[in-house]
Amino acid sequence: MRDMPWIYAAIILLLPKACHVSGTNQTISANSDTSSSPKLYVVRNEAFNVGSDVNLTCSNKTWNEMMYVIWTIDMKYNPKECKIAFDTEGRSDDSCKDGKSLRNTSSAQSYLHIPNFSDYDVGVYKCESVYRGANENYKIHVAITVPPSISAWLERKDNRMVAVCKAESGIPAANISWSHMGNSSTVKTSNDSRGFYTVESLLELPEGMDTVNLSCVIRHPYWKGEKILVPELQKGYVLWLCVLIVVVIIVFLAGVLFFAQKKIIMLRQCQQSDDTSSPSKSPPIEDVEEVEPYASYIQRVNSIYNSSDLYT
């Protein structure tokens, strides 16, 4: 009985290893390990546009010569390496299971296809292709290109006009320049944990400068050309002004409605009190006097009593 925990411990210790061994029991991986003593990599850097379909080629050998190809992918935001492999005997392996696949060109050249490229796919892609007699190893640093969202405006700062041009959340950082060789432009660049850059360029304008033709030029690898923005008097300010005006109008209307409703209620109450007081007084007297003299007499007596009540 005392031995039982040891047995459990042994099983627990051995189990993950056993699983791991069976998981990597691929003849392709085994081959790669034997031939991997001094691995020399050809290193390449590549960047692709977000959302594009990417084709990564490592060797220009075709399947006529090749025996197998293994991609070992170490994605930046994925803690585990994964593999995609294929050999000429038709064996394949895909531990990534995220849509990446091996494909052939029409000339039987192998490439890795990455659909809808996103920052999830950023990382180091190692490719090993073995053909008769030799092998080729590539290490490709794959980066992403994300266009920034851009804006420009004019704002007042300590009685000075400042033109601001901003390129937000782009990879890599955008380049901003001004059409006017204004004297002092300040550039602020910041980046967040996921590698997105925000660049803000401030141009102080000389007093009384004509801003008609002032524009900022933003360059980013995502765009073929450059983007030109003309800063207008602060958009945000105008927007807030509009919001404020709308709010004031709504409050005003609400106030008017409120008072109108109050007035109506008061008027109704007045009318109601008129309605309730009048029939008991004058009109019945006339009407009743003609029809029922007795009732009118009683009412008159009552009213006399009432009035005498008032005098007491």
Ligand X SMILES: *[C@@H]1O[C@H](CO)[C@@H](O)[C@H](O)[C@H]1NC(C)=O
116 binds ligand X (CB under 6 A): yes
Q: Which stretch binds ligand X (CB under 6 A): 102-110, 137-145, 185-193, 270-278?
A: 102-110
Q: Beta strand pairing status for 185-191 and 197-204?
A: antiparallel
Only segment of 2-10, 99-107, 148-156, 256-264 that touches ligand X (CB under 6 A)? 99-107
Residue of 203, 196, 120, 190 whose CA lies nearest to 160: 203
CA distance 167 to 148: 5
Judged by CB under 6 A, does residue 183 bind ligand X?
A: yes
27 binds ligand X (CB under 6 A): yes
Among 9, 36, 55, 103, contact with ligand X (rule: CB under 6 A): 103
Q: Are 102 and 92 in contact (CB under 8 A)?
A: yes
Min dist. Cβ of residue 158 to ligand X (A): 13
> Applying CB under 6 A, which part among 156-164, 209-217, 229-237, 253-261 lies near ligand X?
209-217
Interatomic CA distance for residues 103 and 113, integer angstroms: 7
Using rule CB under 6 A, residue 255 touches ligand X: no
Which is nearest to 221 in space by CA: 147, 113, 115, 157? 147
**Binding window for ligand X (CB under 6 A); candidates: 22-30, 38-46, 244-252, 261-269:** 22-30
Tokens 């009685």: give the residue: 159
Shortest separation between residue 156's beta carbon and ligand X, angstroms: 17
Give the nearer residue to ligand X in terms of CB position, either 35 or 271: 35
Q: Using CB under 6 A, which of 3, 12, 16, 25 touches ligand X?
A: 25
Shortest Å distance, C-beta 239 to ligand X = 27
Cα–Cα distance measured from residue 222 to residue 171, given in angstroms and rounded to the nearest whole number = 9
- Site map (CB under 6 A) of ligand X, residues 31-70, x = contact: --------------------x-----------x-------
Q: Does 194 interact with ligand X (rule: CB under 6 A)?
A: no
Cα dist from 134 to 30, 31, 169, whole Å = 17, 13, 44
Integer Cα distance of 137 and 59 in angstroms? 8
Question: Does residue number 118 form part of the binding site for ligand X (CB under 6 A)?
Answer: yes
Nearby residues of 214 by Cβ (< 8 Å), 6 or more positions away:
163, 178, 179, 180, 203, 205, 230, 231
Closest separation in Å from C-beta 64 to ligand X: 8
Contact 57, 109 (CB under 8 A): yes
Q: How far is the CB of 63 from ligand X (least distance, A)?
A: 4
**DSSP states of 182-241:** -S-EEEEEEE-TT--EEEEEEEEPPTT---TT--EEEE-TTSSSEEEE--EE-HHHHHHH
Binding interface with ligand X (CB under 6 A): 22, 25, 27, 51, 63, 90, 102-104, 108, 116, 118, 183-184, 206, 210, 212-213
